[in-house]
Amino acid sequence: MKRLKSFAADCWPIIVLRFSLILSLCVSIGWGEIRLSPSEHYTQEQAQEYCRSFGSSWRQMSIHELFALPSNIPFVEGFSYWSYNRGPSDNTEIGTGSEGDGGIIAMVGYSFFPKERNITLSPPTKKIAAACTDIPEIKPSRNYRLRVEGTEDNSSGLLWHSLDATDKRAKFTFDQAHEKCESLTLHGRAWRVPRLEELYGIVDYEHFRPSVDMRYFGAMMHRYYWSSESLSSAEGYVVGFKLGSVATVNKGETAYLRCVSE
């Protein structure tokens, strides 16, 4: 692949339509630098090559890193960006943004759609944009312990209610999910629906079906669970625990629920 000579030195400018401003594709975010491709011309493998073309310290970002980026990063309006993460190669069902309704493919790649903060499963041959960084990867911290009340995250102090405490197969609308958690009186604690970052934070890509460590979180259902956050008045965020996706669905639809307490 031919390297663009001016990119590394000057950082190509790009117009972000949402703000009608000229912003730089080369972004310093305190702990390092990221570079975003100015086009959606890359398969997942080509995106990896694109990142390596900047030097030996450059690499593709993980899907956890992309999801955690601050909102002021100048992503291109409407672009999706490859991570290096891939899913199991066992005829996984894939679909738009999610947990499987769009056909059969041997392997899936994980991409991030910043406009709606969706994590999407796509064929690795799909051509989208690349996101690169020059810092060593920091893996998500996972420090849990089992308690009588549920599973505690020792890093944040957040407590997840035990699957055995409620009917794990029960499904709720967005409003019903909030009512259910807030009405729980388990162990004399106050409970709520987890925020999106909290719910996605227990996704572990070393595990699939479900994409959590079952030693601590049990056999969670393989489909969507509600977060407390909304994209709009009509749509709420969900996390899929079949393969670890993030999507938005109509608040009138039903999804599974895992409550938290602080």
Let me know whether 15 and 112 are in one domain.
yes
**In this predicted structure, what is the pLDDT of residue 99?**
44
Question: Residue 251 has which token pair?
Answer: 């608040």
138 in any annotated domain: no
Domain boundary among the residues 133, 153, 173 is at 133
pTM: 0.81
Domain annotation covers residue 124: yes
The pLDDT of residue 139: 81
Q: What is the pLDDT of residue 104?
A: 53
DSSP character at residue 222: S
12: pLDDT strictly greater than 50? no
Q: Mean per-residue pLDDT for 195-201?
A: 96
Evaluate if residue 46 carries a pLDDT over 50.
Answer: yes
Which residue segment(s) compose the domain that 118 sits in? 5-133
Look at residue 101 and tell me if it is in a domain: yes
For the domain that residue 215 is a member of, what is the CATH number?
3.10.100
Q: Is residue 139 part of a domain?
A: no
Q: What are phi and psi of 45, to 5 degrees?
A: -70, -40
Where is pLDDT greater, at 72 or 30? 72
Same domain, 59 and 128: yes
Q: Are strands 104-105 and 92-93 parallel, antiparallel or unpaired?
A: antiparallel
The DSSP-derived string for 181-250 is HHH--GGG---BPPPHHHHHHT--TT--SSSS-HHHH-S--SSEEEEEEESSSSEEEEEETTTTEEEEEE
Residue 41 above 80 pLDDT? yes
Tens digits of per-residue pLDDT, 107-117?
A: 789 999 999 99
Same domain, 172 and 213: yes
Q: Which residue has the higher pLDDT, 97 or 109?
A: 109
Query: 95: pLDDT confidence band, cut at 50, 70 and 90?
Result: very low
The sign of the CA dihedral 20, 25, 30, 31 is: positive
What pLDDT sits at residue 244? 93
If asked whether residues 165 and 254 sit together in one domain, one would say yes
State the average pLDDT for the chain.
83
3-state secondary structure of 2: coil
Residues 102 and 43 in one domain: yes
Q: What is the pLDDT of residue 258?
A: 95
- Residue 238: its pLDDT value, please? 98
Looking at the fold, whether 80 and 159 belong to one and the same domain comes out as no
Instruction: State yes or no: pLDDT of 85 exceeds 90.
Output: yes
Structure confidence at residue 31 (pLDDT)? 57
Looking at the structure of the chain, the number of domains it has is: 2
Residue 235 has pLDDT above 80, yes or no: yes
In this predicted structure, what is the pLDDT of residue 105? 54
In a domain, 11, yes or no: yes
Q: How far apart are CA 121 and CA 164, in angstroms?
A: 30
- For residues 127 and 244, membership in a common domain is answered with no
Q: Which 3 state secondary structure label does DSSP give 110?
A: strand
Question: 247 and 169 in one domain?
Answer: yes
Q: Does the pLDDT of residue 220 top 50, yes or no?
A: yes
